[in-house]
Amino acid sequence: MEVESAQLIAMAIAAGLGVLGPGIGIGLIGGKAMEAIGRNPEASGKVVSNMILAIVFAEALGILALVVSFIIRFVG
């Protein structure tokens, strides 16, 4: 296997697995937030703001995985 093809495979694995966790996490965050709003609609402001903050942290991990995959491709 050539080095370039190994880099492409490593890039695909890093990007694919790296965004799998944050994708699942964002889905769980959204589901639990909707459940919390359904149980207590008066607290929806606090729930939504905390939900957005948690989504930002989860998405940062996905972006980090994408950056790492590009580093594998172009630097390695």
Please write down the HEC assignment for all residues of 31-71. Answer: HHHHHHHHHCHHHHHHHHHHHHHHHHHHHHHHHHHHHHHHH
Given a cut of 90, whether residue 30 has pLDDT beyond it is yes
Can you give the pLDDT at residue 1? 81
Within 10 A of 18 (CB to CB), how many other CB atoms are there?
19
Indicate whether 76 pLDDT > 80. no
Residues 49-64, mean pLDDT to the nearest whole number: 95
Mean of all residue pLDDT scores within the chain: 93
Architecture of the domain defined by 3-74: Up-down Bundle (1.20)
pLDDT exceeding 90 applies to what percent of the chain? 89
